[in-house]
Structures are given as structure tokens and as C-alpha cells.
Amino acid sequence: MANTPESPNTGTTRIVAGESASKPKRRRTLEIGLAVGLVLLIGAGAAVASAVSQNNQAAPAPTTTPAAELKLGYFSNVTHGPALVGTSQGLIAKELGETKLSTQVFNAGPAAIEALNAGAIDATYIGPNPAINSFVKSKGESISIIAGAASGGAQLVVKPEITSAADLKGKILSSPQLGGTQDVALRAWLGDQGFKTNTDGSGDVNINPTENAQSLKLFQDGKLDGAWLPEPWASRLVLEAGAKVLVDEKDLWENGDFTTTILIVNKKFAAEHPETVKALLKGHVESVNWLNSASAEEKATTINAVLKDTAGKPLPANVIERALQNIKFTTDPLAGTYNKLLEDGVKAGTTQKADINGIFDLRTLNEVEGKKTSAAGLGQD
């Protein structure tokens, strides 16, 4: 007990003989300093660990595995040639590997966008205006344009007695669907001619959005004066129903280049399954390359076989020949035309003014092709 530095009764320090009073003080000071430092170090480490834990909880690493299934939409139109070839020839399925490919056929863009936004499909071939409208309405959250598919192949065809724009006043015209690319083109062009049109069908010229096959029948029955249609429907009205071309849309664009069909993907799906999107683009690029290297007869035969399955019967040889002559298949979405497409949609009353910067993501396309396709400042390339 006599050699114990601290008394159990008082808790005070006792000085043992032969020991200086300053040593315990220095030792205790050192011990206290070490203890405080250790506490601070432990506390700092805990704070860092807590911060890392919180950050990890706030931004977990995304899962980017290949999708079990890719649900792809397209139209039964010649302008959707890359989809028709890519699905029928197995080019897309081959690149997808173990990912199952499911397809759904649509008549027009707004219906395909509705399915995409509802999760019924993951990607689709479509016209540019419904894609723009979806991007605008969702404030950039819904879709990304990842490639072009076709340019050209849309015309305003009318009864033979209609010889000028002035003759259209009071007439009944059709387009595939309200807000679709041809619908917007028709309304914007009529506006430039001084005509007023309304989305309810009223105005100086009545526009009734109608399924393509029904437009052909109505024109044959004399109940429709004309229609702004994609191929092969414009050619069908000309060659099967006696219509004539009043406006070829290529004449309204610089160098005759305007986008008819693009490939878009649901943004959430693309973020979760980038490998699947890359595989889709590989198959798409192969399809476009096949179309541009095949003979006219090969293209017509292959596309016609798919149209027979989706539409019930193949096109007459002269119809598909004329349709293919009006179309250029390309992976370039012609991004430089999109501000005008947006303006046309605003003019037509089917969309609103907006900033569409970010609508393109062409990085994977450029990686796959090994060349630069420009987003024209409207996204990533």
C-alpha cells in the first residue's frame, strides 16, 4: 500500500521516497495527451466511415447487367427497313446473345411512345417528332435518340384535280396519327401556305389522323382528298389509287435530307442495361449496312417478306420499287435538323417550345461504328 502512487481512499497522488514530484506530472500529461489524440483519431475515423457509408447509401453503384429481354417496337413501313431486316434476318437477335428479343408492330409514333413510357417496350424505331414531344413533356427524362435509320420517303399525295396548295382549302386530308412526324410536316407546311388547321380537325383544311391502310381505302372510295404519308403508303396511293404527288418532303429540306426514322431507347433501360443497348446498336448497324450493300431485288424481296407477315400480303413489285427509290437508309439521325423539327411541332400545335439539348446520346453508336456522327450540340457524341 505504501508503494501505491494513489491512495484508494482519497484518490490523491502520493510521492514515493526517491522520486521527484515532476515525473508523475509529466507522465500524466503525456498519457492525457496520448489519450486525447487517440480519441480524436478514432472520432475522425468514425466520421469518415460514416460519411462514406452515407454517400454509398445516397448513390449506390448502378447494376448494369445485360437485360433478360429486349422489347423492340417498329412500324410495318418500308421506312423502317433496318427494323424489318434486323428482325427477320436475325441480325439483332444474334448480337443480343442470351437476351431474348420480343417485337411489337405499331401504326404510328405517338402509340409507340405511349408503349415505351409505360414500359411495354424498351426501344423503338420511330419518327423524330413523337420522340421530341416525349423528351419535351418529360423534361428530358424519357428517351434518348441513339441512332438514325432512314431519311426521305414521305409525300403529300392528292387527287389529280388538285394542282396547287390553294386548291386544298376546305379539303379533307389525312396523316397517320396526330402528333406523328408526317402529321407535323403536313400541318407546318399548310401553315406556311397561309392555312389554319386545328388539332380537332377544324380549320381551313380538315386533317383527320387515320391509319395508313384506312387512308388508302378512304381515298379509293373518294372520301379523302389527299394524305401526307410515309412509304410504302404514298406509293400505294399513287400506283393503286391514282393519286399524284403534290409535295415531296425532300424538296422542303436543304440537300433533300430529312430524317424519317430513328432508333430511340427508354433512358432508364439504357442506364440499367448499356451492354444490351450496345448489342442492339450492333445489330442495327449491320442491318443498315446490309440494306446499303444488297441489290434492289434482295432488298425488295426481304422487306416484302416481312410486310407479308405483318400486313397480311406483300406489296406489288412496282410499289416497293418506287418506295425504295425514295428512301436512304442511314445511321445518322441528322441532328442538325431537329431545331426545325421542334419549330414545326410548335407551329403545328402538337408540342411546345423547349430546350431539346440532351436528346441525343450517340456515344455507343460512334463506338460501334468507329466514326463520329454528330449530335449537333444537342447531346453527347
Return d(Cα 198, Cα 363) in angstroms, integer.
Answer: 39
Return d(Cα 25, Cα 2) in angstroms, integer.
Answer: 19
Return d(Cα 50, Cα 127) in angstroms, integer.
Answer: 49
Nearest Cα to Cα of residue 76 among 211, 221, 242, 243: 211
pLDDT of residue 249: 97
Return d(Cα 133, Cα 153) in angstroms, integer.
Answer: 22
DSSP string, 305-369: HHHHHHHSSPPPHHHHHHHHHTEEE-S---GGGHHHHHHHHHHHTSS-----TT-EE-HHHHHHH
Length of the chain: 381
Peptide bond into 232 cis (omega under 30): yes
Query: CATH topology of 69-153+258-380 equal to that of 155-255?
Result: yes
pLDDT of residue 64: 78
Return d(Cα 303, Cα 214) in angstroms, integer.
Answer: 21
Beta bridge partner(s), residue 265: 123, 144
User: Strand, coil or helix: what is 122?
Assistant: coil
The tens digit of pLDDT for each residue in 180-200 reads 999 999 999 999 999 999 999
Domain 69-153+258-380: CATH architecture, name and number where available: 3-Layer(aba) Sandwich (3.40)
pLDDT of residue 107: 87
pLDDT of residue 356: 97
Return d(Cα 72, Cα 287) in angstroms, integer.
Answer: 15
pLDDT of residue 310: 81
Q: List, for the chain, all residue ranges whose pLDDT scores fall below the cut of 70.
A: 1-63
pLDDT of residue 63: 61
Give the fold, CATH level 3, of 155-255: D-Maltodextrin-Binding Protein; domain 2 (3.40.190)
User: Strand, coil or helix: what is 50?
Assistant: helix
Residue found under cell 500529461: 29
Return d(Cα 178, Cα 108) in angstroms, integer.
Answer: 9
User: Strand, coil or helix: what is 19?
Assistant: coil
User: Strand, coil or helix: what is 110?
Assistant: helix
Return d(Cα 258, Cα 184) in angstroms, integer.
Answer: 13
Angle at 59 between CA 58 and CA 64, to 5 degrees: 145
Return d(Cα 323, Cα 164) in angstroms, integer.
Answer: 23
Q: Tell me if 209 sits within 8 A of 200, measured CB to CB.
A: no
Q: Tell me if 117 sits within 8 A of 42, measured CB to CB.
A: no
Name every residue whose Cβ is closer than 8 Å to that of residue 180 and which is 6 or more positions away in sequence. Answer: 108, 109, 110, 127, 129, 130, 209
pLDDT of residue 312: 80
Dihedral sign of CA atoms 207, 157, 129, 266 in order: positive
All three cell numbers of 360, joined, read 441525343
User: Strand, coil or helix: what is 142?
Assistant: coil
Encode 177-227 in three state secondary structure.
Answer: CCCCHHHHHHHHHHHHCCCCECCCCCECCEEEECCHHHHHHHHHCCCCCEE
Helix (H) or strand (E) holding 103: strand 100-106
Segments making up each domain of the chain, as ranges: 69-153+258-380, 155-255
The tens digit of pLDDT for each residue in 241-270 reads 999 999 999 999 988 999 999 999 999 999
Nearest Cα to Cα of residue 244 among 230, 259, 227: 227
Identity (one letter) of the amino acid at 341? Answer: L
The tens digit of pLDDT for each residue in 90-111 reads 999 999 999 999 999 998 899 9
User: Strand, coil or helix: what is 155?
Assistant: strand
